[in-house]
Amino acid sequence: MTKSAAAENSVKELRELDKKHFLHPTTPIKEQQVEGPELIFESGKGIRITDVKGDEYIDGVSSLWNVNVGYGRKELAETASEQIMKLSYGSSFFNQSHEVVIRLATKLASIAPGDLDVSFFTSGGSESNETAIKIVRHYWKLKGQPEKRLIIGLENGYHGVTMGTTSATGVPEFKNMITEIAPGFLHALPHQTECEKGDKLHPNYERSIRGIIEKEGPENIAAVILEPIQGVGGVNIPPEGYLKAVRELCDEHDIFMITDEVITGFGRTGKMFGVEHWDVVPDLMSVAKGITSGYIQLGAVMMSSRLRDELADMSEGPMFHGFTYSGHPTACAVALKNIEIVEKEGLVENAREMGEELLKGLKYLEENHKITAKARGMGLMAGIELFKDRDRGEGFAPELFAAPTVVAACKQRNLILRPLIFGGMNAVAIAPPLISQKQDIETIIEILSDSINEFEQKVL
Ligand code: PLP
């Protein structure tokens, strides 16, 4: 057998084994069973990722918006290896600790917005949001107000896949595995700034956060949870003044504000954290993804020491909550090194500068392709939408799979992007690693433009 025939056989074997033994996350099972995995990755370097056939792709979405410092960083591998040899695992249950988790909590306190200076560690975004939801309900229970338990999320918000976070999520498709949401979750229309400021005559008032608070009674609401910029729900940037209005609304009614910075944290939007664009400090903040650039699993919920002290004063026993891998030493060591890279290489600033280039490129697409509209972006978190008739806001028929077709055409041209098609939307998300350079952004725009052209020619 020739070398290339052997390689082909090994790819075939991997595909068959994948079909036989691997149930993929967020993948149509039938499609995977019939066609096998679309890509089997083998290696990555910088902003590029290579599959087992040797084809190299630009990762235009940083995998799952998480590989912020790019692939193949030797210093992260060395850090992980050194930590494993030094202390492979150390529990922080039962009042135990270890050095890297302490150093990471201290580092996070120094970079987080406002007075957020205490961290609880998890293994990812869902666990962080689940923890935040449990903490606020625990707080009100300890305070003698157990009825203050309702959580208000936003429509199109995404917070994860555990039972609580699925219930807080406002993207209906992500509820297809449950028969009912957990008790005590409500959803408001996103980004209704005027309503949140108190405009009761606004037609959307009843469906705004303020309208829901008024209907349910603030004495029954524990918290509002929202992403500073909605990611999975469409890269939806809030209007100026929105987050501040929500902050003030929460203060007015003694309701916790939880911000989900799982995508927006650690430089993605051109600030270290998304809320900094609007000068808002939440009561609790969830992070994950970019904290380690995806090199290893880690998440955290941050709060102020004032809130922690209140919990301490009211508690008698332990907070019966913790994950075996809360504060895993290897994950904490990698996170520290990853944050060091982000700071040393000026990646927050680079994300801001490259984000401007990217947005310029998307606006250029808008000028040159009449099926595109609503180009938006903050730092390296951007999106553009596809419309049959953009002037009338008429979308493409669902059976045309507009955004998935354009994304597939990009893949043919060795660029990975992500379609966001929830609620009939046809958006394409673009979120390359924070190390991207001008030339990379230009290549991404060029390929996206060619792919839109191809689709346009087919359908118009
Ligand atoms: N929150 C947001 C905003 C996310 O985008 C995600 C994942 O995409 C999550 C939470 C869930 O994080 P994880 O998949 O790490 O549980």
The two structure tokens encoding residue 57? 């792709």
Which of the listed residues 128, 130, 259, 289 should we mutate to test ligand 1's pocket, taking the one with most ligand atoms within 8 A of CB? 289
Q: What are phi and psi of 182, to 5 degrees?
A: -65, 155
**In the 3-class helix/strand/coil scheme, how is 257-284 assigned residue by residue?**
EEEECCCCCCCCCCCCCHHHHHCCCCCE
Which ligand 1 atom is the nearest neighbour of the CA of 127? 16
The span from the CA of 150 to the CA of 426, in Å, is: 32
**If you take atom 1 of ligand 1, which residue's CA is the nearest one?**
159
The whole-angstrom separation of Cα 444 and Cα 355 is 12
Structure tokens at 76: 């992260």
Q: Which residues line ligand 1 (CB under 6 A)?
A: 64, 124-126, 129, 158-160, 227, 231-232, 260, 262-263, 288
Instruction: Provide φ and ψ at 119, rounded to 5°.
Output: -120, 145
Token reading at 244: 């501040």
Cα 109 from Cα 126, distance rounded (Å): 21
Q: Going edge to edge, which strands form the sheet with 372-378?
A: 372-378, 381-386, 427-430, 418-420
In angstroms, what is the span from residue 337 Cα to ligand 1's centroid? 22
Predicted ipTM?
A: 0.99
pTM (whole model) above 0.80? yes
- Provide the 10 A C-beta neighbour count for residue 44: 19
Torsion of CA 352, 304, 153, 29, to 10 degrees: 70
Residue 153 CA to ligand 1 center (angstroms) comes to 14
Best CA proximity match to 184, nearest among 144, 225, 242, 143: 225
- pLDDT values of the chain reduced to their tens digit, one per residue, 460 residues: 787 888 888 999 999 999 999 999 999 999 999 999 999 999 999 999 999 999 999 999 999 999 999 999 999 999 999 999 999 999 999 999 999 999 999 999 999 999 999 999 999 999 999 999 999 999 999 999 999 999 999 999 999 999 999 999 999 999 999 999 999 999 999 999 999 999 999 999 999 999 999 999 999 999 999 999 999 999 999 999 999 999 999 999 999 999 999 999 999 999 999 999 999 999 999 999 999 999 999 999 999 999 999 999 999 999 999 999 999 999 999 999 999 999 999 999 999 999 999 999 999 999 999 999 999 999 999 999 999 999 999 999 999 999 999 999 999 999 999 999 998 899 999 999 999 999 999 999 999 999 999 999 999 8
